[in-house]
Amino acid sequence: MAFRYGGYIGQLLRVNLTNKGITKEPLKEDWARDFVGGVGLSARIMYEEVKPNIDPLGPENKLVMMTGPVNGTMIPAASRSSFCAKSPYTGSFFHSIFGGFLGPEVKFAGYDGIVIEGQAKAPVYIWIDDDKVQIKDASHLWGKDPFKTQEILRKEIGDEEIHIATIGLAGEQMAPYAMILCDIRAAGRGGLGAVMGSKNLKAIAARGTGGVAVPNVLKVYNTAIRLNELIATTPAVQGLSQYGTPRMVAAMNEGGILPTRNWQTEVFQGMKNITGEAMREKVVKGHRACFACSINCTKYSVVPSGPYKSIINGADYETIYGFGSCCAVDNIEALCKADELCDHYGIDLISAALCISWAMECYEKGIFTKEDTDGIDLKFGNADGMLEMIEKIGKREGFGAILAKGTREASKIVGKDSVRFAIQNKGLELAGHTARPFPACAVGYATGPRGGSHHDIRPTPEKSGLVDRKVLEGKGALAAEVNHWLILCDSMLLCHLGEPIWGPMKISDTTIEALNVVTGWELNYEQARKIAERQWNMIRCFSAREGFTREDDQLPIRFMEEPVPEGPMEGSYIPRETLERLKDDYFSYRGWDLKTGNPTREKLIELGLDFAIEDIC
Amino acid sequence: MARVRVKTFSVVRDVLGSDVVEIEVDKPETVGGVFDALLRRYGEPFRKMIWDPNTGEMTPFLIRLNDEMIRSTSDMGREIKEGDKIALIFPLGGG
């Protein structure tokens, strides 16, 4: 029977790796309507099915891969998918989003999402071939890197067109920030690769030959045409095809907002060698796009020979930021090699880079010597030392085993005030978007469920001058509305590179149009906003149930104590009292309890989340 | 008339053909006047990069005027003087 709403398949796949059970169950209509899909729907499922305080690496945790109603249609910038689980890295609900083709493929195979539970006794992979689903032996894949695993599976299955999510060595070893590589894109953050590894699940491969039904194909077509025109003409989207996400490296440096030397400053002298322009000149050989997307942001880069010989899909901005300016390495070829190594081992490159830049600062300040770092000279700018350390992190060998724990845990082990250099919140290292000059971004980082994620908040409204960055008033409300457009997009699985179209200050009419035209709904702004607010509160409830409180909503110490020392943003920072004031503003706007930071009983009733009242109120 | 140096990046730089261009600004000698002068010199390709055809308005971005950060949304009336350096902190986003 067809699902009531367009864009959905109407069916979830459940795979229990303990008892090898494979079941197909109907998608709940009310959950689809209330939580849409992707992250929102996964949060609802996780809240229902995962008990509080379980071991994230135990069989009780679940790994949910979810699509959204827009996935698999011709709507552009809408091909992402989400993996969600309780994170071993942060200890709460975590979503990691990836682009490419796997999400649409899973829908074409006949599923809106996959709920993976239990723990296999030996390595396995899941093979989804339309309605035929199998749990297969993966002992021959264990120990293989993600790309080799994909190559073997494609050959073994005899189909070059299958799409595959897989873990590397780090995931197998349950390294805290192991990632999941999905074809060439990564669900990189939060250690969800470790969750997959804990289940002895090496890979998920899918092939689908079905389609996605929508209420009116012509309406969807017209919306897709309009969206493609917007992508082609909106100035703030320009440059992604030519330069990828590193398009703004030079501009950010000029604006004094390029995090450098483990965020000791935000201006990098070696910037010119690691810009999007430098990449295009030296290493980029082609462009790649995700399903049905006209942005073409992914660059295909090759370093043909020499010590940094590598082939990557990137580098993206976060590579340039993390291994480039933060480690003060100004060699684009070395950055390509760093990117390749992270994929090879299956580790989140943002966390890996920030662990190394943290170690570099400790090294230069005398907290470490070469004896501590296995003989590696970890001074800023030493590309070879950085690459050696990535290898050690990937293998969890020697000093790398400490860095593989992340900066929060590593700084606890090391002590000596090194926590002051740990650029993390809730354990997650920050992406390369500063908050020191931007109060809304700061409170968004602090209160974000994932901590250091630049996809729970965006600096764009303040960074573009849409609002006055120096004013504190109204920034709580701004952060909340940015949360809302982000979470709605993460539930529809729209790509945030379409930020000027989907946001950037609040949920845009275009976003609502894309959702309505695919599902057949007739949501207005208030209704769409309420869904997003419900999703955000659902995730906050999950964290509260795990014991998180207002006290956990913090910024890196550096952001609160050290003003930017130079450049046009000189003097910017968010003192603790300012952060607390911003949190009051944010919680008040959200109707949350000022003392605990939890949603109130009234708010939960208003949003239809009554079932969470007894857990957190 | 004031002569200023304008620095741009990425696709805007591609339109202007150089990292830095010098441009003469007639009255009004303001930041807005700089954009008028750039539009006269570089025409439609420059307009496409800065003005959103879907709204008809200039895309918001920060501008570095010497060592100060100002906003395209509120500071186009700021006066400029001979020798000023202006950088367009644009495009932004992504990552």
Read off the pLDDT of residues A388-438 as tens digits, 9 standing for 90 and up.
999 999 999 999 999 999 999 999 999 999 999 999 999 999 999 999 999
Contact (Cβ atoms closer than 8 angstroms) between residue B89 and residue B71: no
Minimal-distance CA residue of chain B relative to A460: B93
Out of B9, B63, B74, name the one closest to residue A250 (CB): B9
Could you tell me if A238 lies within 8 Å of chain B, comparing CB atoms? yes
Task: Flag if B95 and A245 touch (Cβ within 8 Å).
Answer: yes
Could you tell me if B45 lies within 8 Å of chain A, comparing CB atoms? no
Distance CA A107, CA A7 (A): 10
CATH value of A244-423 in 1.10.569.10, 3.40.50.720, 3.40.50.300, 1.20.140.10: 1.10.569.10
- Test mutation, A464, A467, A495, chain B, max B CBs within 10 A: A464
Q: Tell me the pLDDT tens digit for each residue of A489-526.
A: 999 999 999 999 999 999 999 999 999 999 999 999 99
Could you tell me if A239 lies within 8 Å of chain B, comparing CB atoms? yes
- Maximum C-alpha span of chain A: 67
Minimal-distance CA residue of chain A relative to B48: A235
Looking at CA atoms only, how far is residue A219 from chain B in angstroms?
20
Task: Flag if B52 and A235 touch (Cβ within 8 Å).
Answer: yes
Contact (Cβ atoms closer than 8 angstroms) between residue A599 and residue A480: no
Confidence at residue A29, expressed as pLDDT on a 0 to 100 scale: 97
Would you place residue A441 in the very low, low, confident or very high pLDDT band (cuts 50, 70, 90)? Answer: very high
In this prediction, residues B21-48 reach a mean pLDDT of 96
Classify domain A11-207 at the CATH superfamily level.
Answer: Aldehyde ferredoxin oxidoreductase, N-terminal domain (3.60.9.10)
Q: What is the CATH number of the domain that holds B76?
A: 3.10.20.30
Could you tell me if A427 lies within 8 Å of chain B, comparing CB atoms? no
Distance CA A371, CA A518 (A): 60
pTM value is 0.97
Out of A235, A247, A256, name the one closest to residue B50 (CB): A235
- For residue A324, count other CB atoms closer than 10 A to its CB: 33
Out of B11, B54, B95, name the one closest to residue A234 (CB): B54
pLDDT at residue B93 is higher than 80: no
CB pairs under 8 A between A and B: 122
Token pair for residue A7?
């864009």
Token pair for residue A538?
């659902």
Out of B10, B63, B90, name the one closest to residue A243 (CB): B10
Judge whether B94 lies within some domain: no
What stretches of A235-310 show up as alpha helix (H) in DSSP?
240-243, 249-254, 276-282
- High-pLDDT (> 90) share of chain A, %: 99
Task: Flag if A318 and B53 touch (Cβ within 8 Å).
Answer: no
Judge whether B33 lies within some domain: yes
Looking at CA atoms only, how far is residue A366 from chain B in angstroms?
33
Could you tell me if B85 lies within 8 Å of chain A, comparing CB atoms? no
Name the residue type at position A44: R
Closest CA to A469 of A436, A434, A438, A505: A438
Average pLDDT, whole number, for chain A? 97
Looking at CA atoms only, how far is residue A125 from chain B in angstroms?
31
Confidence at residue B27, expressed as pLDDT on a 0 to 100 scale: 87
For B23, the domain range is 2-89
Token pair for residue B88?
């367009």
Contact (Cβ atoms closer than 8 angstroms) between residue A93 and residue A83: no
Task: Flag if A568 and B94 touch (Cβ within 8 Å).
Answer: no
Within 13 A of A516's CA, how many CA atoms are on the CB side? 16
- The structural domain count of chain B equals 1
Looking at CA atoms only, how far is residue B88 from chain A in angstroms?
7
Return the domain boundaries, chain A.
Answer: 11-207, 244-423, 434-555+575-616
Judge whether B12 lies within some domain: yes
Task: Flag if B62 and A463 touch (Cβ within 8 Å).
Answer: yes
Would you place residue B42 in the very low, low, confident or very high pLDDT band (cuts 50, 70, 90)? Answer: very high
Same fold, A11-207 and A244-423: no
Token pair for residue A577?
């009292």
Please give the radius of gyration of chain A, using alpha carbons only, rounded to the nearest integer: 22
Minimal-distance CA residue of chain B relative to A466: B60
- Please list every residue in chain A whose beta carbon sits closer than 8 Å to the beta carbon of residue B68: 568
Task: Flag if A464 and B74 touch (Cβ within 8 Å).
Answer: no
- Please list every residue in chain A whose beta carbon sits closer than 8 Å to the beta carbon of residue B10: 238-239, 242-243, 247-248, 250-251, 276-277
Judge whether B95 lies within some domain: no
In this prediction, residues A274-285 reach a mean pLDDT of 96
Could you tell me if B71 lies within 8 Å of chain A, comparing CB atoms? yes
Could you tell me if B18 lies within 8 Å of chain A, comparing CB atoms? no
- For residue A288, count other CB atoms closer than 10 A to its CB: 17
Distance CA A454, CA A464 (A): 16
- For residue B52, count other CB atoms closer than 10 A to its CB: 17
- Please list every residue in chain B whose beta carbon sits closer than 8 Å to the beta carbon of residue A500: 59, 93
pLDDT at residue A583 is higher than 70: yes
Minimal-distance CA residue of chain A relative to B64: A255
Tokens 């700018």: give the residue: A381
Judge whether B41 lies within some domain: yes
Q: What is the interface pTM, i.e. ipTM, of the complex? A: 0.97
Q: Tell me the pLDDT tens digit for each residue of A228-261.
A: 999 999 999 999 999 999 999 999 999 999 999 9
Name the residue type at position B90: F
Token pair for residue A352?
């890996």
Token pair for residue A274?
């690691």
Confidence at residue B94, expressed as pLDDT on a 0 to 100 scale: 61
Confidence at residue B95, expressed as pLDDT on a 0 to 100 scale: 62
Judge whether B85 lies within some domain: yes
Confidence at residue A357, expressed as pLDDT on a 0 to 100 scale: 98
- Please list every residue in chain B whose beta carbon sits closer than 8 Å to the beta carbon of residue A236: 59, 90-93
Distance CA B87, CA B95 (A): 21
pLDDT at residue A1 is higher than 60: no
- For residue A215, count other CB atoms closer than 10 A to its CB: 15
Task: Flag if B9 and A235 touch (Cβ within 8 Å).
Answer: no
Q: Tell me the pLDDT tens digit for each residue of A13-55.
A: 999 999 999 999 999 999 999 999 999 999 999 999 999 999 9
3-state secondary structure of A101: coil
Confidence at residue B92, expressed as pLDDT on a 0 to 100 scale: 74
Distance CA A175, CA A352 (A): 11
From start to end of A38-189, where are the E strands? 63-66, 81-86, 93-98, 113-117, 124-129, 132-137, 163-166, 180-182, 185-187
Please state which architecture CATH assigns to domain A434-555+575-616: Orthogonal Bundle (1.10)
Average pLDDT, whole number, for chain B? 94
pLDDT at residue A360 is higher than 60: yes
- Please list every residue in chain B whose beta carbon sits closer than 8 Å to the beta carbon of residue A277: 10, 13
In this prediction, residues A543-568 reach a mean pLDDT of 98
Task: Look up residue A321 and give its DSSP letter.
Answer: I
Out of B14, B63, B95, name the one closest to residue A318 (CB): B95
Looking at CA atoms only, how far is residue A251 from chain B in angstroms?
5
Out of A233, A277, A465, name the one closest to residue B54 (CB): A233
DSSP bridge pairs for A125: A136, A203
Looking at CA atoms only, how far is residue B7 from chain A in angstroms?
9
Task: Flag if B53 and A233 touch (Cβ within 8 Å).
Answer: yes
- High-pLDDT (> 70) share of chain B, %: 97
Confidence at residue B82, expressed as pLDDT on a 0 to 100 scale: 97
What do you get for the CA distance between the two ends of chain A, in Å?
Answer: 40
Out of A250, A465, A568, name the one closest to residue B68 (CB): A568
Distance CA A427, CA A411 (A): 11
Confidence at residue A207, expressed as pLDDT on a 0 to 100 scale: 98
Task: Flag if B95 and A317 touch (Cβ within 8 Å).
Answer: yes
Could you tell me if A188 lies within 8 Å of chain B, comparing CB atoms? no
Closest CA to A132 of A210, A199, A197, A80: A210
Could you tell me if A317 lies within 8 Å of chain B, comparing CB atoms? yes
3-state secondary structure of A308: coil
Looking at CA atoms only, how far is residue A317 from chain B in angstroms?
5
For residue B94, the Cα-to-chain-centroid distance in whole angstroms is 21
